[in-house]
Chain A
Amino acid sequence: MYSDIRRAGADILSVAVDLHGPEKARPFHTAARAEFTTVVDESNSLAAAFGFKAIPNGLLVDEQGRLAYKHFSGFDIRKPETVEVLEMFLASGAMPAGVDGAPGRDGLPVATIEHFRSGLARLKAGDPGGAARIWREGVALEPDNWLMRKQLWALENPDRFYAGAIDFAWQKEQIAEGR
Chain B
Amino acid sequence: MSKTITLQPGQPVPDFTLPSLDGQDVSLSSYRGGKVIVFMWASW
A residues in contact (CB < 8 Å) with B: 5, 8-18, 22, 24-29, 37-41, 45-46, 48-52, 55-70, 75, 77, 86, 89-90, 93, 95, 97-100, 106-111, 113, 150-151, 154, 161, 166
Contact = CB atoms under 8 A, between A and B. Distances in A.
Given A39-B26, A68-B9, A62 B35 contact: yes
A14 B38 CA distance: 6
Given A38-B21, A46-B16, A13 B39 contact: yes
Interface string B17-43: 011110000101101111111111111
Contact count band on B: 35 or more
Interface of A is mostly: mixed
A66 B14 CA distance: 9
Given A24-B43, A67-B8, A9 B34 contact: yes
A12 B29 contact: no
8 contacts: A15-B18, A16-B41, A28-B41, A38-B20, A46-B40, A58-B39, A60-B37, A77-B39
Interface of B: 2-16, 18-21, 26, 28-29, 31-44
